[in-house]
Structure 1
Amino acid sequence: MRIGLVPLDNRPACVRTPRMLARVAGAQLVLPPSEATDGPGGAGSPEALQVWLRDTAASLDGLVVAMEQVAGVSGGGQGAAVAAMGRLGVLRDIRRDHPHVQLLASTAARPRLVAGPHAPALTELAELHDRHSRGEDVAAKISTAEAAIPETVRGEAAARRMAAHMVQLAALDLVADGTLDLLVVGAGTGTSGADLQRSWMTTWLRQLLLGQRAELLHADVALGSTLVMRLLNRERPKPIAVGFCSPVPGAEKRPVAEGATVARTVLRQLRVLGAESAASDVDFVLALHPPPPPDRPPATSDEDPERAAATLADELTRLHALNVPVALADIASQDGGSSTLVERLRSRIDLPRLAGYAAGQTAGDALASALTQGCVRVAASTDDARAAAQLWLLRRLLDDWGYQAKVRGRIRRRLTNDTGSPEPTEANLAAVEVDIERDLSGILAQLPRFTGRYRIVPGSTRLPWQRTDECDFELERLDLPPAERR
């Protein structure tokens, strides 16, 4: 199967992850040139993306697009909304000229701000405006926030935000007229801005009677991979059956800053994936390490985490003894995977047997990642596919647990102590990347059944957006000839 993907931007979670998914599935994934999509250097080229879409569509079986990227809303400027709406015409052209192409799309129901020195202040200002629209008395705070941002910068940000919202509404129209086979509205995290835009979008979803052709998910960077997996699942003779296991209470709780319970989010994501919830005869089980109840913070002692980790490890041990594949979603914290849980698991279970692992800063993305890994892992029928799935699993352990929960905090504390800022600069970026690689390699050496078989390619670790939010690195197998290791 040949699938085209226009990602949300070119972060590793939006680009590398779907590539790894396609590798496991034995599918061909085609992406536009990097200069056509948003990156650390700024907005991509909408014109280059339009050319790529028109040149590539005929050769595809399916196409997954991030609507904001197709519309080019990150560029901003005068007339941004009109220009953005005009660019969406390419999707109608693809539907007309290539009706065989399955066309799936996502849109982000939250403000999209490009990176830059004013980004934090613009985010704060956008949230203040949303609070004001709901009747809160924040006029004085708005005036103060506006005074700290140049007027031209504020104007461009407002134009981008208006263009993004118009694109979201246009996306609903593209579902209604049959251009899009499916639209997923990604709610992301629940900042006040996301809350307001999510409210607008859910209102129209109800009134337009779009049914299951449009779905709202509390996810963001995982949406592209989720929709790629949906296309792959449609090639299966029957839907993947997924069991759900939460031995630690919490599935009916709502994660911090997200607008739905964990259980409801899982059911929505299964619908989008084209999979089914099942109580028996399952292809794999999604095991949950749930968030703490919203009325109290995470436990400050080791007692509760230890007990939860032991309970979950017992259940995974039982399922593995029954040869039931398990994908683990660790959403107990917004700061990456639980070290207490991973420490317990690596002494109790065979980690490479996991069908998937995901943790991270948003519960919705972690759940989507774990489910996607589970779907493609159970469909992996060749040695090459299973090896690619295990490489993906190791990457998730090293990234979601090793980097996000362990290394990132240490790096940020050291940078703050040394420079006064938790983020790297051009002057110290290379040294920071060396430190991260050393730490991650040390963590890999502590993972049974992975250590000695894999390594991080020396010199491959980088912070692609020159910030600590995400890191990237290359892994290779040591039991293969050098030309076949990655």
Structure 2
Amino acid sequence: MLIKKLFLTIFLALLLLPNTVQAKTKLLYIPLDNRPVCLSYVTQTIVAAGYEVTTPPEHLLASENHHGNPDALWNWLIKTIPTVDAAVLSTDSLLYGGLVASRTHEFSTDTIHNRVERIAKLKNDFPLVKIYAFSTIMRTPRQSFGNVEPEYYTKYGPDLFKLTELNDKEESLGLTKQEEHQRNLLKLNIPAIYLNDWFDRRQKNYEANLRLIKYSQTRSFHFFAIGKDDDAPLSQTHMESRHLTEAALLASLNKFIILPGVDQLGLLLLTRAINDAEYKKPIVNVIYADGVGKNTLPYYSDQRLSSSIPDQIGVAGGRATEFLEEADLILAVNAPYDGITKDATYVDNLYFSSKANLKFAAQIKKLIRNKKDIALADVAYANGADNGFMLALHKEGLLEHLAAYSGWNTADNTVGFALAQGLLSRAMTSQDKITLLHTRYLDDWLYQANIRTDLRNYINRRNPNIIYDLTPQHLRILATTQRLYKDYLDEFKFLKQTSFDIDFPWNRLFEINIITNATKNDAKK
């Protein structure tokens, strides 16, 4: 009798299993803001992988001309979250109104703490929903333009950076007498009102992160990540991350992490949510181009690739391996040969393939022939692709056979995007995969590493400040950009198969939005 009951139980379980497998996880996502790398490129990836993702009405999110609305976003979240299985939340959007707002807001400490408390209570109110959240440590840029920092940062930003670099060094290494003198001069040079404003806001954000870490230890989040925004080995951002790490000693590494980069975290955590829902822990092998390789310390980061890449694999819900043969995905990292990350607009980013370029392209070709899935993180330059390497890949006919490609903004942004899209690529159709690849080539390669330079040269002859606000010449610059694209597409004809429009979503040269037909169709659904 017991045996019959056992067989009946197994039989019923098998009958129910297909329905369980077919029930796709429903996702909710609140991004940092409405930039394509945070919103449209992310949702396009998730939809291509076959998942439903719900996002807030765009007017509630931060844009180029207004901050997001934390309270309206919260109301939308509370109404929508009961309909999903997992939620990925930018706490910066829910606390301050977005990434830029986190650097410029005027909210009181009490207001911020109250918002932290309601985020922490989400899990109790909706126990069946897995909550994934990500926050940021406010960046410390060497300089900044274009209204993404307090107004005074344009003038005093370099001094603020140097001051915090010395503060961090004093705490970790100690200062020479000359450095102490230099720091005192910097304090005198920066008006006290600006120093107080900048450090007061940082303290509010720091305390919010401390509270969020505390709640990650009480299982308020299925996973919580803090990203170090535009960091440096010695800076206020680095110092705060060290203090937060010390405060989080009791936090489980399976539930919490601090890592470099911010803009990639939304897609990484959505990928983790999918892997968790499917009880998958994909295995990733990392290979590097010849040169400094894994020991590269990229610009905008305080961690070497050997440290930051395994962190990102973990955030995505994967596991790193040294053994290529057991990997589900190979992450190929095109790091700079000398370990020095320059901007993609630098004069040496030429259509000339170095020996290292050719060798790495040949290695990737062999792996693809052996049916390996390759996600390519192109981090030789910041803010765009390595032209010489892309030329080598193009000549070998490899660009349409990758699982994923990325080469935008910081090295950490690039790695996270390539990794996440690569892990999700097996669930995509061939056409969806090609569309995502072409989007990255049109943006990271043709625009960021080439057309953007051409446009800057064109604009600088007239008014250099326009690159941060295209309003006076928006239509003319858009038309010039379209003409430049036509010239490059005549050279790289394989990209012509993807029909696309372009726009400058934040009305500046720094980013472009590639709107493919696939993106338009998804928006209509």
1:476 equivalent in structure 2: 517
Q: Report SS of the residue matched to 1:108.
A: strand
1:130 equivalent in structure 2: 164
Q: Report SS of the residue matched to 2:471.
A: coil
What pairs with 1:26-425 in structure 2 (closer than 5 Å)? Answer: 26-72=50-96, 74=101, 80-111=108-139, 114-115=148-149, 117-121=151-155, 123-124=157-158, 126-131=160-165, 133-134=167-168, 135=170, 136=180, 137-146=182-191, 151=193, 157-191=198-232, 192-205=235-248, 207-249=249-291, 250-278=293-321, 279=323, 280-294=325-339, 306-380=354-428, 385-421=429-465, 422-425=467-470
Counterpart-to-counterpart distance in 2, 1:307 and 1:38: 44
Q: Alpha carbons of 1:282 and 1:210: their partners in 2 closer, same or farther (altered >3 Å)?
A: closer
Q: Alpha carbons of 1:79 and 1:215: their partners in 2 closer, same or farther (altered >3 Å)?
A: closer
Q: Which amino acid aligns with 1:432?
A: I
Counterpart-to-counterpart distance in 2, 1:21 and 1:144: 47
Q: Is this contact kept in 1: 2:349–2:388, CA < 8 A?
A: no
Aligned-residue Cα RMSD (Å) equals: 2.9
Q: Which amino acid aligns with 1:231?
A: A
Q: Alpha carbons of 1:128 and 1:485: their partners in 2 closer, same or farther (altered >3 Å)?
A: closer
Q: Report SS of the residue matched to 2:365.
A: helix
Counterpart-to-counterpart distance in 1, 2:227 and 2:341: 27
Counterpart-to-counterpart distance in 1, 2:207 and 2:230: 20
* 1:301 Cα deviation after fit: 9.8
Q: Alpha carbons of 1:462 and 1:485: their partners in 2 closer, same or farther (altered >3 Å)?
A: closer
Unmatched 5+ residue regions in structure 2? 1-24, 141-146, 171-179
State TM-score, norm by structure 1.
Answer: 0.88
* Range with bigger deviation, 189-198 or 127-136: 127-136
Counterpart-to-counterpart distance in 1, 2:425 and 2:508: 31
Unmatched 5+ residue regions in structure 1? none
* 1:110 Cα deviation after fit: 2.5
Larger Rg: 2
Q: Alpha carbons of 1:116 and 1:12: their partners in 2 closer, same or farther (altered >3 Å)?
A: farther
Q: Which amino acid aligns with 2:274?
A: L
Q: Report SS of the residue matched to 1:13.
A: coil
Q: Report SS of the residue matched to 1:397.
A: helix
C-alpha distance after superposition, 1:258-313 (max 9, x if no partner):
22221222211111111122321322211111134347989969799511110111
* 1:238 Cα deviation after fit: 3.4
* Range with bigger deviation, 270-279 or 61-70: 270-279
Q: Is this contact kept in 2: 1:187–1:216, CA < 8 A?
A: yes
* Range with bigger deviation, 394-403 or 237-246: 237-246
* 1:204 Cα deviation after fit: 1.7
Counterpart-to-counterpart distance in 2, 1:336 and 1:418: 25
* 1:119 Cα deviation after fit: 4.5
* Range with bigger deviation, 436-445 or 350-359: 436-445
Counterpart-to-counterpart distance in 1, 2:130 and 2:421: 22
1:456 aligns with 2:500: yes
Identity %: 19
Counterpart-to-counterpart distance in 2, 1:287 and 1:97: 42
Q: Report SS of the residue matched to 2:359.
A: helix
Counterpart-to-counterpart distance in 1, 2:158 and 2:350: 35
Counterpart-to-counterpart distance in 2, 1:78 and 1:281: 51
Q: Is this contact kept in 2: 1:219–1:362, CA < 8 A?
A: yes
Q: Is this contact kept in 1: 2:353–2:392, CA < 8 A?
A: no
* 1:424 Cα deviation after fit: 3.9
Q: Report SS of the residue matched to 1:239.
A: coil
Counterpart-to-counterpart distance in 2, 1:466 and 1:119: 20
C-alpha distance after superposition, 1:290-337 (max 9, x if no partner):
134347989969799511110111011111211212111111111410
* 1:233 Cα deviation after fit: 1.4
Q: Is this contact kept in 1: 2:96–2:105, CA < 8 A?
A: no
C-alpha distance after superposition, 1:433-484 (max 9, x if no partner):
2222332343344335432x21223xxx22211211111131237xxxx979
1:426 aligns with 2:471: yes
C-alpha distance after superposition, 1:124-163 (max 9, x if no partner):
454245245344433333443338xxx5x77655543332
* 1:369 Cα deviation after fit: 0.8
Q: Which amino acid aligns with 2:463?
A: T
Q: Is this contact kept in 2: 1:456–1:474, CA < 8 A?
A: yes
Counterpart-to-counterpart distance in 2, 1:346 and 1:306: 14
C-alpha distance after superposition, 1:15-66 (max 9, x if no partner):
1121112111211111122232222113211110110111111111111111
Q: Which amino acid aligns with 1:255?
A: P
Q: Is this contact kept in 2: 1:105–1:180, CA < 8 A?
A: yes
Q: Report SS of the residue matched to 2:514.
A: coil
* Range with bigger deviation, 237-246 or 96-105: 237-246
Q: Is this contact kept in 1: 2:136–2:226, CA < 8 A?
A: yes
Counterpart-to-counterpart distance in 2, 1:300 and 1:406: 12
* Range with bigger deviation, 318-327 or 130-139: 130-139
Q: Is this contact kept in 2: 1:217–1:364, CA < 8 A?
A: no
Counterpart-to-counterpart distance in 1, 2:201 and 2:374: 42
Q: Is this contact kept in 1: 2:298–2:340, CA < 8 A?
A: no
Counterpart-to-counterpart distance in 1, 2:506 and 2:348: 33
Q: Is this contact kept in 2: 1:78–1:159, CA < 8 A?
A: no
* 1:413 Cα deviation after fit: 2.2
Q: Is this contact kept in 1: 2:341–2:381, CA < 8 A?
A: no
C-alpha distance after superposition, 1:400-424 (max 9, x if no partner):
1111111112212221211133434
Q: Alpha carbons of 1:409 and 1:117: their partners in 2 closer, same or farther (altered >3 Å)?
A: farther
* 1:120 Cα deviation after fit: 2.7
